[in-house]
């Protein structure tokens, strides 16, 4: 679990069946002490964990990322300039977990385009 990396501000079902999560990144998180001091950039692996935790919050289940089918980082995310992000996710029940297709974005850019599988951690 990421402590102090982000705060889940909201999750709203959308008319197309997806869920829209809104998160706030914390620029004071210890992750940025090494990535990079004075010019913080969100580590890709931390962003993946954040997305997984959003899905866990929605499903109420503890999950493991079991397969990443596609993950495109299309722009750099910095908590200083993109502190509020949206994650629109289409979540489909799959064998032993969920299939997720989603996009991380704000009003200016798309940052991540992803398709991944989550398995329920028993």
Identify whether 45 is part of a domain: yes
Residue-number span of the structural domain to which 5 is assigned: 1-69
Q: Are 28 and 4 in contact (CB under 8 A)?
A: yes
Which two structure tokens, joined as six digits, stand for 66? Answer: 């079991």
| Tens digit of each residue's pLDDT (9 = 90 or more) over 67-82 | 999 999 999 999 999 9
How many domains are contained in the chain? 1
Per-residue pLDDT at 87: 98
Give the mean pLDDT of 73-97.
96
Identify whether 36 is part of a domain: yes
Identify whether 49 is part of a domain: yes
Q: Are 91 and 79 in contact (CB under 8 A)?
A: no
Identify whether 83 is part of a domain: no
Per-residue pLDDT at 3: 81
Give the separation between CA 81 and CA 97, rounded to whole angstroms: 34
| Tens digit of each residue's pLDDT (9 = 90 or more) over 107-116 | 999 999 999 9
Identify whether 21 is part of a domain: yes
Identify whether 107 is part of a domain: no
Q: Are 111 and 85 in contact (CB under 8 A)?
A: yes
Question: Is residue 103 very low, low, confident or very high in pLDDT (cuts 50, 70, 90)?
Answer: very high
Identify whether 19 is part of a domain: yes
How many helices, marked H, and strands, marked E, lie in the chain?
A: 1, 6
Question: Is residue 37 very low, low, confident or very high in pLDDT (cuts 50, 70, 90)?
Answer: confident
Per-residue pLDDT at 122: 82
């Amino acid at each position: 679990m990421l402590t102090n990396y982000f705060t889940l501000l909201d999750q709203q079902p959308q008319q197309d069946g997806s869920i829209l999560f809104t998160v706030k990144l914390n620029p004071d998180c210890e992750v940025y002490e090494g990535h990079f001091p004075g010019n913080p950039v969100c580590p890709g692996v931390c962003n993946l964990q954040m997305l997984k935790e959003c899905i866990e919050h929605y499903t109420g289940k503890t999950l493991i990322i079991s397969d990443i089918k596609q993950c495109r980082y299309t722009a750099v995310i910095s908590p200083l300039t993109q502190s509020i992000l949206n994650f629109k996710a289409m979540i489909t029940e799959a064998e032993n977990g969920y299939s997720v297709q989603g996009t991380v974005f704000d009003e200016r850019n798309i940052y991540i385009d992803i398709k991944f599988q989550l398995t329920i951690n028993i």
